[in-house]
Structure 1
């Protein structure tokens, strides 16, 4: 019951901020014993005398609400996961599946550009796996570039080398 009384008092005093001294306030206890305040008199009510016309609250520091939380920049890293650096790929059709790894995680709107021997392989993609076809025998380099949703370069992988081993039709190797 005390908490109800405190709530009623708090609401009452909060509502008095806009009142002038010419207005009258009355109080009484209801059938449950709760103290009630009103601007309408009733039998058994007593007039409450207000000591001040202007009630003021101390100013609260709200500066912490004005500043936007500073976003911690995420340092994304992209790397070539497969084929491993200096791995030999034995595939007579010349097919190689390249997998990139992004950490901490691949975000919506991000795109990966695969470079094969320094040249872009297709357009940037929202996939982290690429299929290369008809790769010639010999040494090849791979590199990946990660772009954010605004097409800003976020990360570049180290260059990775792989060796394509295909049977030669010339000498049977």
Structure 2
């Protein structure tokens, strides 16, 4: 039975469309399958044939390289310098305070910022103001420098280090250099009212 069935199955696999299959019982009592119709044979219902496409699958798309963010070119300034204090200036302050002002040519661009450095360290966050107020600077010599940063934090311009000298005068030294007068008490920090001498009251003896 299987010998007779094998050629039939090969024929079905090679054909482009399914053929009609019939079955019957032969004289020896065996069931026979054939594609030839004969008297007493019954048609065998067949399931639909699945067809496979021979078109090769398209290759997967090549991975695209990540796009790099555009880096803006650095715009340079013609001039950047510290206006106040002067180079190698001596600053006299009891509290160690100092006002620093800077300028640039052209003026600061909208996306840029100034940053002041004292002895190589930033004194505050970058900003657009060209004036910086420093407080409680130690006695001795120091270095000032100013930078211009762009929106990406890159240094666009930087000045050379500019020295200055802080002299912190005590109140006693101020009084010694400029003695307090009666009108100075309560007006000058080194001349507090508590130290004001008591005025001598003049007594007028009655004329007898």
Q: What is the TM-score when the length of structure 1 is the normalising length?
A: 0.53
What is the count of residue pairs matched by the alignment?
101
Question: Aligned-pair distance for 1:76?
Answer: 4.2
Higher strand share: 1
User: Does the 8 Å contact 1:109/1:126 carry over to 2?
Assistant: no
Q: Does 1:121 align with 2:105?
A: no
Classify the secondary structure of the residue corresponding to 1:164: strand
User: Does the 8 Å contact 1:78/1:100 carry over to 2?
Assistant: yes
Classify the secondary structure of the residue corresponding to 2:116: strand
Displacement over 4 Å in runs of 4+: none
Aligned to 2:9: none
Structure 1 segments unaligned to the other structure (5+ residues): 1-70
Q: Of the two, which has the highest radius of gyration?
A: 2
Q: 1:150 to 1:76 in 2, by over 3 A?
A: farther
Query: Whose relative contact order is higher, 1 or 2, with alpha carbons under 8 Å and at least 6 apart?
Result: 1
Aligned to 2:151: 149
Aligned to 1:87: 89
Question: Aligned-pair distance for 1:143?
Answer: 0.5
Structure 2 segments unaligned to the other structure (5+ residues): 1-72, 175-208
Question: Aligned-pair distance for 1:148?
Answer: 1.9
Q: What is the TM-score when the length of structure 2 is the normalising length?
A: 0.44
CA distance in 2, matches of 1:127, 1:159: 20
Question: Aligned-pair distance for 1:155?
Answer: 0.3
Question: Aligned-pair distance for 1:86?
Answer: 0.4
User: Does the 8 Å contact 1:138/1:163 carry over to 2?
Assistant: yes
Deviation track 1:55-82 (CA, whole Å, cap 9, x = no partner) reads xxxxxxxxxxxxxxxx9x6534321111
User: Does the 8 Å contact 1:136/1:164 carry over to 2?
Assistant: yes
User: Does the 8 Å contact 1:89/1:163 carry over to 2?
Assistant: yes
CA distance in 2, matches of 1:93, 1:74: 37
CA distance in 1, matches of 2:128, 2:92: 28
User: Does the 8 Å contact 2:91/2:164 carry over to 1?
Assistant: yes
Q: 1:74 to 1:143 in 2, by over 3 A?
A: closer
CA distance in 1, matches of 2:78, 2:152: 15
